[in-house]
Chain A
Amino acid sequence: AQSVTQLGSHVSVSEGALVLLRCNYSSSVPPYLFWYVQYPNQGLQLLLKYTSAATLVKGINGFEAEFKKSETSFHLTKPSAHMSDAAEYFCAVRINTGGFKTIFGAGTRLFVKA
C-alpha cells in the first residue's frame, strides 16, 4: 500500500539556517508526492508537488524538494529559514488505485528561533 512517513514530529532551526524536513514514501508504482503547509489556525496550502517530471521540484516561499527513487525519499528543504516559516508541514501521496485519494504523513512542526 502507498504511504508516507515523516521523520521527526518536531524540527527546530535558527533563523537563516537550512531547513530539512524528511519524508519517505512507500509505493509500488511511481507516486504523486506533495508537501503541504498549515499555518496556525489556517487551512492547507500546497507548497510543491512531484508528478514524475523533474526530480528537483521548486515550490513557493523558497522551498524545494528532490525525488530520489533509490532512497524512496522526498525531503523538503529551504536554504535559509525565516520566522514566517514556522508552521506544520505535511508530506502526502496520491493513491491512484480504485479511484484516487491523498494520504498524509503524520506531519512535522517547524520551529524557527530568532
Chain B
Amino acid sequence: SAVISQKPSRDICQRGTSLTIQCQVDSQVTMMFWYRQQPGQSLTLIATANQGSEATYESGFVIDKFPISRPNLTFSTLTVSNMSPEDSSIYLCSVYPGTGNTEAFFGQGTRLTVV
C-alpha cells in the first residue's frame, strides 16, 4: 500500500489566479497520476507524470492549463492555471505502489472552489 499526502486539502481561489497542489508519497513510485472529479461526477484522468520526463496528458487537458512537475520519485505537483469557476473540482493524486500492486491508491484530494 501507500500513504499519499496532498496539500492543500481545500482552497477557495479567485478567478484568474493559479493554484499549485502538492502530492507526496511515502515510497518511490515510477508513475504518478492526476485526476479531476467535478461536482457530482466521476474521476477523469488529467495526466500521467513520470520522473525525469514531461507529463503525458489525456485528451482535453493541456500543459498550459495544468502544468505538472515530477522532480523525484516521491513527489509531484499539479498547477491549475488561470482558474475559472469551471475548474472547481476535487483534484486527486494517485499511484501504483510497489511491484505487486495491481490497484491504484489515492490521496484524499484537494477540494478547489473558484469564485
Q: A-side interface residues toward B, CB under 8 Å?
A: 32, 34, 42-44, 46, 49, 51, 90, 92, 94, 99-107
Chain A's interface: helix, strand, loop or mixed, by majority?
strand
Closest Cβ–Cβ distance, residue B78 to chain A (whole Å): 15
| A44 CA / B37 CA spacing, docked (Å) | 11
Which residues of B are found within 8 Å of A104, using beta-carbon distances? 42-44
Q: Is the CB of A90 within 8 A of B43?
A: yes
Rounded to whole angstroms, the CA-CA distance of A68 and B18 in the bound complex is: 46
B interface, over-half SS: strand
- Count CB-based A-B contacts (< 8 Å): 46
Q: How far apart are the CA atoms of A104 and B104 in the complex, in Å?
A: 11
List chain B positions with a Cβ less than 8 A from chain A. 31, 33, 41-45, 48, 56, 92, 94, 96, 102-109
The answer to whether residues A32 and B92 also contact, given A42-B108, A101-B48 and a CB cut-off of 8 A, is no
Q: Nearest-CB distance from A107 to chain B (Å)?
A: 5
Q: Is the CB of A43 within 8 A of B102?
A: no
Residues of B within 8 A of A94 (CB): 102-104
Nearest-CB distance from A93 to chain B (Å)?
11
In the assembled complex, the Cα of A92 lies from the Cα of B56 at a distance in Å of 20
Contact A101 B109 (CB under 8 A): no
Q: When the two chains form their complex, are residues B31 and A46 in contact, meaning their CB atoms are under 8 A apart?
A: no
Asked if A103 and B45 make an inter-chain contact with CB atoms under 8 angstroms apart, the answer reads: yes
Are A43 and B108 in contact (CB-based, < 8 A)? yes
Could you tell me if A32 and B102 are in contact, using CB atoms closer than 8 angstroms? yes
**Distance (Å) between the CB of A6 and the closest chain B CB?**
9
